[in-house]
Structure 1
Amino acid sequence: MLNAILADDEPIIIKGLKKLIPWQELGINIIGEAMTGRSLMEQIELFKPDLVITDISMPDGTGIDVIKHVQSLQLRTKIIFISAYQEFSYAKDALAYGAVEYLVKPIEKSLLLEAVQKAITQLQEATEDQTSKGKLAVYEQKDKKTQLEELFDRLTQGDIGPEEANRKLQALGISLNRASFSVFSMELERLQLQDGRWGEHEMRLLLFAVSNLAEELIGYYGSGLVIRKAENLCVIVNHESSCADMKQLASEMRDKMLFYLKVHVTISIGKPVHSLEDIRYAYKSAVDTMARSYFEEAGTVLAWTRHEGNDRLESNVEQAKQAIIQSVIAKDKAHVEVLLSDFFKDVHIHANGSKETAVMAGYSLLIDIVNELAEVGIAINISPEVRKDWLQQMHHCSRFAALTDFLTMQVMGILDQVSGSGGSREAQQMKWIKEYIEEHYKQNITLESIASQVFMNPYYFSSFFKKHMQENFKQYVTNIRMKHAVRLLLNTDLLVYEIAEQVGYQNPRQFSDMFKKCYGKLPHEYKSQTKS
């Protein structure tokens, strides 16, 4: 049996982790719990556990402190981090120190199980004799492609040496004899994947199709494979030394994904390297380059370049912010719009590819506006809960354009309160939107299609709609359709598939499943019970 310690400053999280997966069936005993970093490190030193699952942001000792402590003790302990969304970049950095995986709260059962099994595999391999055939025992039970994917996944993390990697490649009959290795990070556009068109099964099929198409294209430039990395895909190519070829390959991947699969992908190309040992550096540079995509449109190809800092521009951001605050106090709407545009340009440059820097600059703008208004005696209706929600919503903006739309909406909303003219134009827009949905619910209306009708960016429209309706767009449309479905069910003799078509569902099964989710019964059951 393996021994594990669970750590989180919230006892309910520890309790949930203990119930989430079958620890005993996996051969794991939970031997300790900790609520602070110091307590965790003391228990690690005392019990020398095989596995630790811990929140990355703990009081009295961070996740980085814990993993460094494990390394200083030269223990074989494997660590899985869990983190809040806003700590994503911090958790990502922890992987460079040797963490097995990070998981974002709320923890999904399948992802935790996958991470724990990955740790078990690494622990099993670490205990095998380095010269024994037993080293390949884990791999022998898997097909060749799976073994290769796992090997390169470990190479990107830097937890396998080049000699061992070459032995495994030799055992698999794989020869990588071209001069260079390049690593791409590939991100599927999040809005497309979260607007309701892709369920879990469809997502798996899509990722399978994307991987197959990418691997087919790799064959024209060299050899390689595609592996899954959290929400993104990682493409590894063994090729000759031309970097221009890699840009061409990435562009072909992007274009063919859009043409054949109708999905936008953003691709970042890491710094090319010349050995298996350095693949982890190529991967890290690809991930760092992907961070710059936040400031680009979906479907961009980005190549690694060396960037210098822009700290000297911080004062420009601060000056632009103060100018906006003064114009809000003066109720100068036209000037505020111009100053916001300048502020966003300065933030873009100052952030130097960092989403976190851009988000915090935007959050600082909103908080400072509210505080300055309070100091000059102008009261506005912004609750602490709303202020907290601002930061969360900004972190969820997948592009800088979405962040600027959100900030513009919030600043203009504050300005409306200050000037006493708040809401009249927005109320008219919402009235038109609700009427449009009521008239077109039978059609395939989407968030994007209505956003274009009111000349809004889809990201902005999503926030705008939820702000006024207190529910998201998809749920609102579903409720409208279900309301009309009940009317048709109770007042007509139409069959279920006919009602489905009448309320905008081409798939009767999907309609029935949604109806049951809303009312607890299938359509025919609902009708029978109501008539009886």
Structure 2
Amino acid sequence: MNRVITMVVIDDITTVVNGIAERIQWQKYGIAVVGTAFNGDEGLKLIQRTKPDIIITDIRMPKLSGIEMVENVVSILPDSKVIFISGYSDFDHAQHAIQLGAFDYVLKPFMPDQIMNIVFKARDLVLQQSEQQSNVLEMERKLRESMPLLRQEYLSLLVRYHSNPQTLKKRWDFLQIDMKEESLAVHILEIDQFNHTNMHASIAEIELARFALQNIIEETIHASTKGIVFRDGINRMVCMLNCSSSEESLEIAEKYCDNIRRYTKNSISVGVGMTVDHIVDLPLSFQQALTALSYTFYTIENSIFYYGDIAQILPVEGSHYSEEKEKELIYGIRSGNVQKTNEVLEGIFAEWDYLEQKPTPEKTKTLYLQLILAIDKSITIALDQNEEQPIAQFVQELNKLSLNVRDIQNFVRDICDKYCVVFQGKQQVEAEITITKSIQYIKDHLHINETVNDYAKQVHLSSSYYSNLFKKVTGTSVLQFVVNEKVEKAKLLMVQGLSLSEVAEAVGYEERSYFSDVFKKKTGITPTEFKQQYVMKK
């Protein structure tokens, strides 16, 4: 029992008051005696001061009778429970008191159990009524709190789906929407770069930023006309406003865009639908605003598009790039040449960026998808099945609503860069295999005096490409490598006891003197000195 029930005792007989108030341990039953009085006048003042839940009073008292006091109490505390103490001769008065709203009565003389049972009944009724009242208040509170949510949910449906005028009118009035039902337009507002800007923000910071933006928009609109703004996703809001013309609608949009840039760190993009005659036509204006907003795909941020302007643009047939540029792009990727790939790619992007009349955003997305499919078709033939295929991820990215043309271009760049890296890796592996094969050939043929061109022919490469590839893989030139290998083999042969002439011939030198010069240049000592230092000591 969480709530303590308060009670007062009023009687002109002291023993009755003390017997009820002091001899029964009311606190054990969740009841607190908050005062006593010995006549009706004092009793009324006590009741006014303490506002008790239960009042125990005698009917006959000096100055003010119990009946008169009840009449006053009913008007002051209509929910208080009044229990009368009455003698048999006062029965008629007690009946009258009951009619006035008294809870019950006890005939004198009475036992403590009698008064306790009646008080307990009054206590239970007070608690029951209190709980019921709390439930009603809680329901009313929840209704008040949920009214904005109900309004938002209704408005979200209102702008998307058609309904009959009678139903719309009924709900419009129930939700207390303070707008005219005629001459309306829909704006759809999107917070620019929302995900990027709030990447590291807390929920409280994000909510505060959205609240500030909505507040600025509402104040700007209400300065000119009636309107309502509601959220339609984490970074999008929908605005319905009364306006007599498209010029007025656009002027209001420009004002709140300016105010947001002036008073916050954010900017917004807006799609403006055409003005409609009645609320039943709001879905038309909403769809127009949604189409207009999609054209921020080209401008990225801080822009206003009006459907009436877009509707006047003639449909543009899809642009394309030349087959020659596609071949250049494929060649750049397969050669692992990032710089060349990016140059061709930027040329293709420039062609599409500078079209006088833009295709619809969906058409432009299709163009970029066709470009990626063309790349994928030519590239995947040369890739292993277990290597990364980013085309599926690209298709998923295209379906994101917040994506703009720069995002797509960056994604295409990333895909081409990834492919270039893959082919660079493949080329590195192929180069290492080729040079490893060539090194083995050189080691097996040190006795033959061959040129770089001879080694290149063994692996079917041009002399210049072979030289560059050899140095890239080994970090040294072909001739330096050959000389090093010949000198190391010569040392091994001398240790094994071969003569200098035999050693020179074994490493491809016809003249012993030339071999000696090469050996000394490489090691700092002559072959003879080497033999003296290592072979003789051994």
TM-score range (shorter-chain normalised) is: 0.3 to 0.5
TM-score, reference length from structure 1: 0.45
Give the TM-score of the pair, scaled to structure 2. Answer: 0.45
- The structure with the largest alpha-carbon Rg is 2
